[in-house]
Amino acid sequence: MSEVCTGIVARVRGPVADVLLDDGRVVPAIPRGTLKREKRGTLLAVGDRVRLVRKGETDWLIEEIAPRERALVRRWPDTLGRQDVIVANPDQALFMFAVRDPHPRLQMLDRLLVIAEDNEIPAGVIVNKIDLDEKGMAREIFGDYERAGYPVYYISVTQGIGLDELRPHLKDVITVFAGPSGVGKSSLINVLEPTVQLPVAEISRKWRQGRHTTVMAQLIPLRGGGYIVDTPGLREVGLWGVDVDNLDYYFPEFRPYLGKCRFNDCRHLDEPGCAVIEAVEREEISLRRYESYVNILLSEGG
């Protein structure tokens, strides 16, 4: 008798996916050969819901991959025209940065937020290592994101600050933690879910350059309900499939001004009578966020 089950992809190791079955077992499985031909782009990603069947004692075959409701997806670095699904079907994305060590790359954060907006993934920001924020700069640096309407959590994993505020937002949903290497994504998961002990970078100066301790995305069930996806640190975030015509809309703080420019097709670069630029001049929109918009628009050929 062949056993048929459904589950969710917890890890992808080359051709093999570890699938968390609905009954709690984790089994290695390979996709049926024809699936490879049917789908373009990333065949299997963490978070994909699958139907699988047992062949023999221990061999499982993935027979069907459910269409993705949404995905956190970027352009694969260093090659042209390939998609990289970081995680399929997340309910929310929390983009994690550190106050310092490593220095926060806000342009990367802006790109990640654009990707989340385009894929209709509710997003927020985690600012870790506030124990290192001697000058109290964190709220100044990340305040733009609060004003844009994103939830921003200021935490210290090592000092246990801000965790109780974060925890309720993770219950019963699938959350992906993404960001550069060394910001403390795995460290945070280890304190939120002490039954797992993910490898984390040792305290050393090396993680300032980013050591890439986590090498593959992994779905972690929370005892209290819900899942977190740990992901490897990102070096580059290229947009994939993002409609740059909507880019202005993907900066939520621009929205009150859209449709109020003199020209209908205003790109908010140097057009006269641009309501967005006027809002930047009045400091109602952050200059730095606006510059990020221009940077993305020009680099994505808008």
Stretch that binds Zn ion, among 54-62, 261-269, 281-289, 291-299 (CB under 5 A): 261-269
17 binds ligand GTP (CB under 6 A): no
> Which 163-192 residues touch Mg ion, going by CB under 5 A?
185-186
Show Cβ contacts of residue 183 under 8 Å, excluding neighbours closer than 6 positions: 96, 97, 98, 102, 128, 129, 233
Under 8 Å between Cβ of 190 and 214: no
- The conformation of residue 102, written as its DSSP 8-state character, comes to S
Among 92, 211, 221, 288, binds ligand GTP (CB under 6 A): 211
CB of 191 to ligand GTP, least distance (A): 9
Q: Which does 35 bind (CB under 5 to 8 A by kind): Zn ion, Mg ion, ligand GTP, none?
A: none
Distance CA 142, CA 97 (A): 10
**Residue 146 phi, psi (nearest 5):** -65, -45
Under 8 Å between Cβ of 155 and 188: yes
Q: What is the dihedral of CA 6, 8, 12, 15, to 10 degrees?
A: 20
42 binds ligand GTP (CB under 6 A): no
Stretch that binds Zn ion, among 102-110, 138-146, 232-240, 253-261 (CB under 5 A): 253-261
111 binds ligand GTP (CB under 6 A): no
Which of 94, 265, 108 is CA-nearest to residue 192? 94
Distance CA 133, CA 210 (A): 19
Task: Between 62 and 127, name the residue whose CB sits nearer to Mg ion.
Answer: 127
Q: Which does 211 bind (CB under 5 to 8 A by kind): Zn ion, ligand GTP, Mg ion, none?
A: ligand GTP
Each residue 205-234 as x (binds Mg ion by CB under 5 A) or -, in order, gives: --------xx--------------------
Each residue 155-194 as x (binds ligand GTP by CB under 6 A) or -, in order, gives: -xxx----------------------xxxxxxx-------
Q: Which amino acid is at 219?
A: L
228 binds ligand GTP (CB under 6 A): no
Q: Which amino acid is at 84?
A: D
Under 8 Å between Cβ of 13 and 26: no
Among 233, 280, 290, 293, binds ligand GTP (CB under 6 A): 233
Residues of the shown chain interacting with ligand GTP in the complex, contacts defined by CB under 6 A = 128-129, 131-132, 156-158, 181-187, 200-203, 207, 211-214, 232-233
Residues of the shown chain interacting with Zn ion in the complex, contacts defined by CB under 5 A = 261, 266, 268, 274, 276
